Chains A and B, each alone.
Chain A
Amino acid sequence: MWIAVIVIVVVVLIFVVWPIAIYNRLVALRLRIDNAWSQIDVQLNRRNDLIPNLVETVKGYASHERETLEGVTAARNAAVSAQTPAEQATADNMITGALGKLFALQEAYPDLKADQNFRQLQEELTSTEDRIAYARQFYNDQVRGYNTSIQQFPALIVARAGKFEEREFFDAPEDARAVPRVEF
C-alpha cells in the first residue's frame, strides 16, 4: 500500500510537477527577452526625440553647415521609418556617423562648444548611444541564456512540446561599439 503511494508521488513529481516547473522557467526566460527588446525601443525613441533638439541648437550657431545638419536629420528619419532590423542597423550607423560630424563642429565654433544646452544634449545623446548598445548587449545575453536552456536536456523535451523556438541574436555591425567611445 505505502509503496504504491510513494510510487504515485514520485511519478507525479517527475512527469507533472517537474515539467511544469521547467515550462514556467522557459516562459519567464522568453518574457525577459521580449522585455529586453522593448528596452532597446525605449532608448531608440529617446534618441529620436533628442536629435531634433540638438539640430535646432546647432543651427543657432552654425546655420550654414547645412550638409552636416541635413545629414543628421536624414539619418534620424531613416531610423524612425525603419521596419526591419537590417534597416534599423543601417540607420543606426548613419546616425552615429552623422552625429560624429555634428559634434566635431564644436571645434570650429567655440560659442557652440560653450553653449550649456549643447553640452547637455551632447551628454544625453552620447549616453543614449551607449544605452542602446548596452540594451542590445543585454538582449543578446538574454537570448543566449534562453537558447542554451531550450537546447539542454531535460528542458529540451518540454521546449519541443511547448513549441519554444530558438530566438535570433541582434547582430550589431562589428565597429558599432567603438564609435560612441570617441571623446569629443
Chain B
Amino acid sequence: MPCLGSSSERAGPLYDQVTSNKRRSALLIAAFVALIAVMGLAFSVAIGFGPIGVIVAVLIAGALAFTSYWKSDSIALAMSRAQPADPQVYARLHNLVEGLCIASGTPVPRLYVVDDPAPNAFATGRNPRHAAIAVTTGLLEKMNRVELEGVLAHELSHIRNYDILVSTLAVTMVGAAALLSDFGIRFMWFGGGRRSGDGGGGGNPILLVGALLLLILAPILAVLMQLAISRRREALADMSAVEITRYPPGLIAALEKLRDDGTVVQSGNRATAHLWIEEPVPTREDTEQAKRWTHLFNTHPPIEDRIAALREL
C-alpha cells in the first residue's frame, strides 16, 4: 500500500484549505466593493457630484466583482498571452494531465501554452469544473516526463484546493482598482485645473483628496495581495501534488531545474506573479522604494525550502 497519507488523513488540512479559500474570496469581494465605494465617495466629494457618485461607484464595483468571478480566468490567461494547447501538438501535456485527473478524481481542466522560453506554469479558474492550466513552452522543453508531471500535479492541487479562485480574483480586482484610481486621479487633475481657472481656491482640497486617495489605496492594495497570497499554500500544493503522483523525486527534480534556470517569464508582471509555480518577476534593485515593494510582494517561499520539505517525505 502506498504510505503517503490516506484520504482520511488528508481530508483535514485540505478541507480547511478549501473553506478558508472560499472565505478569503468572499472577503476579497467585500473589500473590493468597499474600496471602490470609498474611492467613489472621495471622487464625488472632490468633484461635487454628491451621493450619486457613490451609487455609480458601487454599481461599477458590483459589475467588476461579477466579471472578476465569472471571467477572471480568461482575463488572467489573456494577460499572460496564453494560447489553447492543441491536443495533437501537445499530446504529452494532455496525456499527463488526464492521468493526474484520473488519479485525483478531478475534472480535466482546459490547457494553455504560453510561448516563452522561461520554464513556468500557473493554474486559474473559479472552481475545479471551470479551471485552466497554462504552461510555458520553455517548461515543456526543459522538463522530462516525470518532472513535467510533478509540476502539473502541483498546478492541479491549486485547482483542487481552490487556491485558483482567490488568486485569480486578486489579479483582476487589484488590476481594476489600480486602473480606476489612476483614471480618477487623472480626471481630477483635469477637472481641478479647469476649476482653479474659473474661480481659484478649489485646487487645494482636490489635491488633498487625491493624496488621501493614494494614501488609502496603497496599503489596501497591499493587504488585498497579502490576503490572496499565502506562502503556506505553495508548500501545501507541493504536498498534495506528491500525494497524487506518489513520486516525490519528480517534483524535486522539477523544482531544482526551476531554481537553476535563470530565464525570466517575459509576459509575467506584478499582477499575475503569484499565479505561477515560481516567481516570474526578477528581483529589481533599482531604487530603495522598488526594493521594499518587491520584498512586501514576495509571493513564494524560497524554492530551497520547498525542496527540503519534499525531501523529508
By the criterion CB–CB under 8 Å, are B8 and A145 in contact?
yes
Judge whether A144 is part of the interface by a CB distance below 8 angstroms.
Answer: yes
Cβ contacts under 8 Å, B103 to chain A: 134-135, 137-138
Residues facing B in A112-138 (CB within 8 A) are 120, 123-124, 126-127, 130-131, 134-135, 137-138
By the criterion CB–CB under 8 Å, are B8 and A144 in contact?
yes
By the criterion CB–CB under 8 Å, are A135 and B102 in contact?
yes
Residues facing A in B85-118 (CB within 8 A) are 91-92, 95-96, 98-100, 102-105
> Could you say which of A124, A127, A181 has the most chain B C-beta atoms within 10 Å of its C-beta?
A127
B153 CB to closest chain A CB (Å) equals 11
The CA of A137 and the CA of B104, in the complex, are separated in Å by: 9
The CA of A141 and the CA of B247, in the complex, are separated in Å by: 16
Q: Within the complex, which residue of B96, B100, B246 is in contact with A177, where a contact is CB–CB below 8 Å?
A: B246
Cβ contacts under 8 Å, B7 to chain A: 141, 144-145
By the criterion CB–CB under 8 Å, are B92 and A148 in contact?
no
By the criterion CB–CB under 8 Å, are B8 and A148 in contact?
yes
Residues facing A in B1-17 (CB within 8 A) are 1-2, 6-8
Judge whether A169 is part of the interface by a CB distance below 8 angstroms.
Answer: yes
Interface residues of A, dominant DSSP: helix
Cβ contacts under 8 Å, B8 to chain A: 144-145, 148
The CA of A148 and the CA of B10, in the complex, are separated in Å by: 14
A-B contacts at CB below 8 angstroms, number: 54
Against A, the Cβ 8 Å flags (1 = close, 0 = not) of B217-246 are 000000000000000000000000000001
The CA of A2 and the CA of B8, in the complex, are separated in Å by: 42
A168 CB to closest chain B CB (Å) equals 13
Q: Within the complex, which residue of B95, B102, B105 is in contact with A123, where a contact is CB–CB below 8 Å?
A: B95
Judge whether A183 is part of the interface by a CB distance below 8 angstroms.
Answer: yes
Judge whether A39 is part of the interface by a CB distance below 8 angstroms.
Answer: yes
Q: Within the complex, which residue of A123, A124, A137, A148 is in contact with B246, where a contact is CB–CB below 8 Å?
A: A137
By the criterion CB–CB under 8 Å, are B145 and A144 in contact?
no
By the criterion CB–CB under 8 Å, are A144 and B6 in contact?
yes
Residue of chain B at shortest CB distance from A178: B247
The CA of A131 and the CA of B96, in the complex, are separated in Å by: 9
Residue of chain A at shortest CB distance from B149: A130
A29 CB to closest chain B CB (Å) equals 11
Cβ contacts under 8 Å, B204 to chain A: none
Cβ contacts under 8 Å, A135 to chain B: 102-103
Cβ contacts under 8 Å, A141 to chain B: 6-7, 105
B35 CB to closest chain A CB (Å) equals 42
Given contacts A127-B92, A181-B146, A183-B145, contact A138 B99 (CB under 8 A): no
Cβ contacts under 8 Å, A177 to chain B: 246-247
By the criterion CB–CB under 8 Å, are B105 and A138 in contact?
yes
The CA of A170 and the CA of B2, in the complex, are separated in Å by: 12
Cβ contacts under 8 Å, A144 to chain B: 6-8
By the criterion CB–CB under 8 Å, are A127 and B96 in contact?
yes
Judge whether B144 is part of the interface by a CB distance below 8 angstroms.
Answer: yes
By the criterion CB–CB under 8 Å, are B146 and A183 in contact?
yes
Task: Provide 8 A-B residue pairs closer than 8 Å at the C-beta atoms, listed in order of the A residue.
Answer: A43-B102, A131-B102, A145-B7, A148-B6, A148-B8, A177-B247, A181-B146, A183-B144
Instruction: Give B contacts to A, CB under 8 Å.
Output: 1-2, 6-8, 91-92, 95-96, 98-100, 102-105, 144-146, 246-247
Query: Which 10 A-B pairs give the minimum distances between C-beta atoms?
Result: A127-B95, A134-B103, A134-B102, A130-B99, A131-B99, A134-B99, A141-B7, A145-B7, A135-B102, A137-B103
